[in-house]
Amino acid sequence: MRAIYGYRGDVATEFGLKLLPLTFVRPGELRLALWREFDLKGAEWRIPGERMKMRELHVVPLSTQAVALLTDLHAYSGDGVFVFPSIRSRDRPISDNTVNAALRRLGFGRDEMVAHGFRSMASTCLNEQGWHPDLIELQLAHSERDEVRGAYNRAQRMTDRRRMMQAWADYLDSLRTTPTPPLDFALSYTKP
């Protein structure tokens, strides 16, 4: 997190690097984000089904840190369609490889971190911190493996997911700002 916050380059890339760990959406979902999908006052990002792997609307609760980043980014790209416009043309989003190239520029090898790796990092850490696996899977927009359960269960558990995403953002902040973050930092939150 310290390296990401030290990145200096294109503004869209810098903000994409910061937002990806906070939301742990798929890199393609991030790069194709449109301003009209965001409700910053309601702290939600509504990704339409046509852009999702499972072809269903995915609502991403936004932490206060994510809203602050998006509010700052709006001054840069808010007059356009894409949240993360290409450096070459504001009519196109950043490329598929932009975030990975930025990670390489920061010194991370392909075996250390890739853009998609923020998803597995979040899943692993949140599971280790004791968050309910269903919340994590909902946030990752994974489909229900049990077909019968998936056919009947439409719960989104937004209140619990909002709490989890805020705790996650606070934990990431602690990694960035504390020389040695306490191991039990994230465990201090009341979980559902």
The active-site residue out of 36, 55, 110, 142 is 142
- Give the integer Cα–Cα distance in Å for 131 and 47: 23
Does 119 participate in catalysis according to the annotation?
A: yes
Orientation angle between helical segments 98-105 and 11-23, nearest 10 degrees: 100
The active-site residue out of 51, 74, 90, 116 is 116
Sheet holding 58-61, edge to edge: 38-39, 44-47, 58-61
Does 154 participate in catalysis according to the annotation?
A: no
The active-site residue out of 46, 55, 110, 152 is 152
Backbone angles phi, psi at 80, to 5 degrees: -110, -175
- Give the integer Cα–Cα distance in Å for 163 and 105: 33
The active-site residue out of 18, 26, 31, 161 is 26
The active-site residue out of 119, 161, 163, 171 is 119
Fill in the DSSP letter of residue 84.
S
Closest by CA position to 42, among listed 30, 28, 60: 60
The active-site residue out of 46, 53, 55, 105 is 53
Please enumerate in sequence order all residues whose Cβ is within 8 A of that of 145, keeping only pairs 6 or more positions apart, or say none.
none
Closest by CA position to 60, among listed 143, 147, 164: 164
- Give the integer Cα–Cα distance in Å for 101 and 62: 25
Does 26 participate in catalysis according to the annotation?
A: yes
Does 18 participate in catalysis according to the annotation?
A: no
Positions annotated as catalytic residues are 26, 53, 116, 119, 142, 152
